[in-house]
A and B are shown apart, each in its own frame.
Chain A
Amino acid sequence: MLEGAWLIARKDLSIEYRTRSAFLAALAFALVSVVVFRFAWDPTTVTALDLAPGVLWVIFTFSGLLGLFRSFGVELAEGAMDGLLGAPVSREAIFLGKFSANLVFVVAVQAVTIPAVVLFYNLALGSEWIALAGVAVLASIGLVAVGTLFSAMALNTRMAELLLPVLTLPFFVPVVVPAAQATVVLLGGRPIVEALPWLRILLAFDLVFLFACTSVFRFTVEE
């Protein structure tokens, strides 16, 4: 199963790598947002440090959604989905492959956005960046698991661009709240133990939803 998932992930990533259009769009969105958010608040009353965690997680949520549109949209063209379903890979493998490709996409956007925020907001980020990267990946797993599943459903419908955000955002909240709160702890230079309760929720969410979404995926692609 893992081999099938790897093949599908590689296929998706190769397609994306050739044009890089979705990645560049997500990146552009992220960087513009970083700037806009800074100017939307009065810098004398709201410090960059107060603003940064919220900005980061709002950007990751919405740029993640941008990436998800691409995920199954790629299969809509020329009935590629039928070909994928007819291939000798399990439904779970298809889901995990798509999930992995989306995860790489989201983490790649984060890898550019976090340094950009540190730069533009003049944050002092020392060795905590490793923990921050860990939080980002952990949260992304949850976001992408749910997002991949819902995009499989939503992209079959008439109002896909509206439906995907409406369906996924309530599910994103138990990921974004802990992630943002953990980011507050880390960027504020506070001991990482303070972030542990939030990390526990993130981990639990990842485990539960990765398993659940992988299992129910086949119900969304039956014929």
Chain B
Amino acid sequence: MESHARSLPEHTSARPESRPDWLLLTAVLAVAGALVRILWFTPVELRQGVAQKIFYLHVPAAFIGLYFACGIVAVSSLVYLWLRDERLDLVAESAAEIAFLFLSVVLVTGPIWGKPVWGTWWSWDARLTLSLFLWFVLLGYMLLRSAVEDRSARARFSAVMGVLAALLVPFIHMSVYLFRTLHPMPIILKPERPSLPNEMLVTLLVSMGAFALLFAALLRRRYRYAHLREGVVAREEELA
């Protein structure tokens, strides 16, 4: 069956596994360095104690997972429907998986932070709820991709879902916000983020940078895997 998508360029470079992945190595070291700084070189917050330090993992994961990764999925999906370049589909696929990973970190670290600080595992806080829904949407996205065998159909369906998911985000935000406005939750100690003292701000930025590097490294690696996989599938189809 003729596929409308432009086919992938031939993969002609040397075997990828022979060269070390410097970006990934740097990223891992950066994250390790950030962890060291978080644990030993950042002051402990007065009211929340040591539990507050999860903030330095939770916030970068949320920021990069929600805005960067999901943004990439949405934009690649839209542009794919316009240009039909298969590489865009692979970018969306890779970014979605990594977004899922980062959002899982958000959803795990959130309750761990929340329990000692808020006194509750879960509060229907606007951002946490949005993360939960996007996590479900990404799960559905990955399920959809695994369920469709035809490459072109899979790319189109995923792109449609990516675009609709992007449209969904403001509505979830509005619903949750209105719900919380009209139904005030019991007053709980909410970890505030007013002005951070310098050392904490620097730690946050260091952690943000490390997570950004990690995201870039993982995205590149995951994209390469997807590219190789499609090359193998194409070769098998040729031989069959």
By the criterion CB–CB under 8 Å, are B144 and A170 in contact? no
Is B137 among interface residues, defined by CB-CB distance under 8 A? Answer: yes
By the criterion CB–CB under 8 Å, are A159 and B147 in contact? yes
Flag A211-223 by CB within 8 Å of B: 1 or 0 each: 0110010011011
Closest 6 CB pairs of A and B: A174-B171, A157-B147, A167-B140, A174-B175, A170-B136, A177-B175
Contacts of A178 in B (CB 8 A): 175, 178
B131 to chain A, nearest CB (A): 12
Flag B166-196 by CB within 8 Å of A: 1 or 0 each: 0110011011001100100000000000000
Is A6 among interface residues, defined by CB-CB distance under 8 A? Answer: no
Is A18 among interface residues, defined by CB-CB distance under 8 A? Answer: no
Flag A162-205 by CB within 8 Å of B: 1 or 0 each: 11001101110110011001000000000000000110010011
Task: State the CA gap A216–B153 with chains docked (Å).
Answer: 13
Chain A contact-residue range equals 20 to 34
Is B201 among interface residues, defined by CB-CB distance under 8 A? Answer: no
By the criterion CB–CB under 8 Å, are A171 and B164 in contact? yes
Is A156 among interface residues, defined by CB-CB distance under 8 A? Answer: yes
B residues neighboring A (CB under 8 Å): 1, 4, 81, 133, 136-137, 139-140, 143-144, 147-148, 152-153, 156-157, 159-161, 163-164, 167-168, 171-172, 174-175, 178-179, 182
Counting chain A CB atoms within 10 Å of each CB, which of B136, B143, B171, B174 scores highest? B171
A residues neighboring B (CB under 8 Å): 146, 149, 153-154, 156-159, 162-163, 166-167, 169-171, 173-174, 177-178, 181, 197-198, 201, 204-205, 208-209, 212-213, 216, 219-220, 222-223
B167 to chain A, nearest CB (A): 6
By the criterion CB–CB under 8 Å, are A212 and B175 in contact? no
B137 to chain A, nearest CB (A): 5
Contacts of B175 in A (CB 8 A): 173-174, 177-178, 201
Contacts of A170 in B (CB 8 A): 133, 136-137, 140, 168, 172
Contacts of B143 in A (CB 8 A): 159, 162-163, 166-167
By the criterion CB–CB under 8 Å, are A181 and B164 in contact? no
Contact partner of A216 among B137, B144, B147, B164, CB < 8 A?
B164
B68 to chain A, nearest CB (A): 20
Shortest Cβ distance from A209 into B: residue: B167
Contacts of B136 in A (CB 8 A): 166, 169-170
B182 to chain A, nearest CB (A): 7
Query: Provided the pairs A157-B148, A173-B133, A181-B179 are in contact, do residues A220 and B157 lie with their beta carbons within 8 angstroms?
Result: yes
By the criterion CB–CB under 8 Å, are B164 and A198 in contact? no
By the criterion CB–CB under 8 Å, are A216 and B160 in contact? yes
Shortest Cβ distance from B148 into A: residue: A157
Contacts of B174 in A (CB 8 A): 174, 201
B80 to chain A, nearest CB (A): 10
Contacts of A219 in B (CB 8 A): 81, 156, 159-160
A117 to chain B, nearest CB (A): 23
A29 to chain B, nearest CB (A): 23
Contact partner of B157 among A153, A204, A205, A223, CB < 8 A?
A153
By the criterion CB–CB under 8 Å, are A171 and B178 in contact? no
B89 to chain A, nearest CB (A): 12
Query: Provided the pairs A181-B182, A201-B178 are in contact, do residues A222 and B144 lie with their beta carbons within 8 angstroms?
Result: no
By the criterion CB–CB under 8 Å, are B164 and A146 in contact? yes
A123 to chain B, nearest CB (A): 22
